[in-house]
Structure 1
């Protein structure tokens, strides 16, 4: 039996309750620091990237698609993972997602940070990249992204969409906020 650190939740057992190619849902029996036992639901998903594609004039390229779980379409930054290659190089993944979703290729790709978008529920980590020196090309979308649209917006327009609630994607908000915090805007 593991010795329990006074600030650590200890996993006692794990049962996978659902699994598909995109995720695994586990139910963990745990012991909390105070000594009582309980259940934790944990979703395992491959890590992903989010890309802030910045044009020479400062506009930011966004994508829009229908998001089934929330039953709506909205604008967001390009983002994704490669389920078939979960350990792929993150910069390569960022370049791939940018080209796949928008058609743009980046002359320069810079990682500016990382985050856990839903650390209380999902083990998934997100790495944030800024793409510059953009050149247009043909998008290579997956069949599930066939309805995707792409357009460029000024930062002021994006901030207005956040404020009005018409761009409710938390990952996009966090990435733009992180970029701003790092003094890159």
Structure 2
């Protein structure tokens, strides 16, 4: 029987370059985002500017009822200039609120639904090349209707919710009819979980990449 190879004293990750930030400048701060420019040390020894959009972070919910239907919302998204189908979602804009509690609140506010069981499906970095925004998507089951209070005067006044079979939501995602990144990821992850191909994580799973810098401002 051959002996197992011993663990090397220095792994490849130990020898990789450290991208140290030597300077940081605030450019803009708004209600839900900020923009800063970092000077970062590159492997060759020089520095490069990296612009970073800071974000509060968000949660999204795939609420699945006993008939295997998922609730989607049709909402106007100004950067795209149109209404799109997506999962109920919202910002982590309440101080010290746990992500699963924020998800429960957003589900009720946007759809009038509550759920008995909650697990974590996926964490989605929206576009890590320029923003620290990460969305945690939950799978909620044991769904019931608790009624929705329609807000007055903002985009959500126009929001419409509708149930679709999960299989239809998967088709819509793959056909480009659902383009919201967290929604596409959550729908496909839910399909994988329900087919037995993957296991979800507990709702309270530690969230390593949850954005914190903007909330600390």
TM-score by length of 1: 0.88
Q: Contact 1:117/1:171 (CA < 8 Å) preserved in 2?
A: yes
Aligned CA distance change for structure 1 residues 15 and 162 (closer, same or farther; 3 Å): same
Q: Residues of 2 paired with 1:145 and 1:33: CA distance?
A: 46
- The question of whether the paired residues in 2 share the 8 Å contact of 1:49 and 1:128 is answered with yes
Aligned twin of 1:180? 191
Deviation at 1:86, TM superposition (A): 4.5
SS at match of 1:138: coil
1:43-74 per-position Cα deviation (integer Å, ceiling 9, x unaligned) = 11112111110011000001111100011111
Structure 2 match to 1:162: 173
Change (3 A) 1:29 1:141: farther
- In structure 1, the partner of 2:38 is 28
Matched, 1:93 2:115: no
User: In the aligned structure 2, how far is the partner of 1:156 from the partner of 1:177?
Assistant: 10
Give the greater-gyration-radius structure (CA).
Answer: 2
SS at match of 2:131: coil
Alignment pair present for 1:58 and 2:68: yes
**RMSD (Å), alpha carbons:** 1.7
Cα distance, 1:141 vs structure 2: 4.8
- CA–CA distance in 1 between the matches of 2:113 and 2:45? 53
List per-residue Cα deviations over 1:138-163 (Å, max 9, x = no partner): 22354331111000001222122223
Q: Give distance in 2, aligned partners of 1:28 and 1:141.
A: 41
Which residue is equivalent to 1:73? 83
Matched-pair contact (CA < 8 Å) for 2:170–2:187: no
Matches within 5 A, 1:108-123: 108-123=117-132
Change over 3 Å in CA distance of 1:177–1:36 after alignment to 2: farther
| TM-score normalised by structure 2 residue count | 0.76
* Cα pair distance change 1:112/1:160, threshold 3 Å: closer
Structure 2's unaligned 5+ residue stretches are 1-14, 196-217
1:87 and 1:38 map into 2 onto residues whose CA distance is 35
Following superposition, the deviation at residue 88 of structure 1 comes to 1.1
1:14 is aligned to 2:7: no
